[in-house]
């Protein structure tokens, strides 16, 4: 899969992301429960709560992908998905 192009509002998107102060924070039960619930509802083996910064996709919560806390941004499915207009998940 080719890397998704960066959105036109990339600078604003990154400013908003950093303002939340969530990157590189500890795991939290509410986020972990959300990823586990998504995996259960969708009957899928892996569900993540991920945040895409300038260079990586960082996982705030993970269900089914132990030991992986981030991946390079160019491998981030959600970086591409955010740009789709058809509402795909």
Question: Is 29 contained in some domain?
Answer: yes
Question: Is 2 contained in some domain?
Answer: no
Question: Is 21 contained in some domain?
Answer: yes
Question: Is 71 contained in some domain?
Answer: yes
pLDDT tens digit sequence for 20-71:
999 999 999 999 999 999 999 999 999 999 999 999 999 999 999 999 999 9
Domain total in the chain: 1
Range of the domain at 48: 10-81
Plot region of 31 (φ>0 → left; ψ -120 to 50 → alpha; else → beta): alpha
Residue 6 — very low, low, confident or very high, per pLDDT cuts 50/70/90?
A: confident
Query: 9 or 4, which is more confident?
Result: 9
Question: Is 23 contained in some domain?
Answer: yes
Q: Which of 73, 58, 71, 72 is nearest to 27 (CA)?
A: 58
Q: pTM of the full predicted structure? A: 0.79
How many other C-beta atoms can be found within 10 angstroms of the C-beta atom of residue 76?
22
**CA dist 43 to 27, 46, 88, Å?**
23, 9, 17
């Amino acid at each position: 899969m080719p890397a998704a192009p960066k959105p036109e509002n990339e600078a604003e998107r990154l400013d908003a992301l950093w303002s939340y102060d969530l990157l590189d924070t500890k795991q939290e039960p509410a986020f972990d429960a959300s990823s586990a619930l998504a995996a259960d509802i969708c009957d899928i083996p892996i569900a993540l709560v991920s945040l895409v910064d300038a260079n990586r996709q960082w996982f705030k919560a993970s269900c089914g992908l132990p030991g992986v806390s981030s991946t390079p941004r160019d491998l981030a499915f959600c970086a591409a998905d955010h740009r789709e207009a058809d509402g795909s998940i």
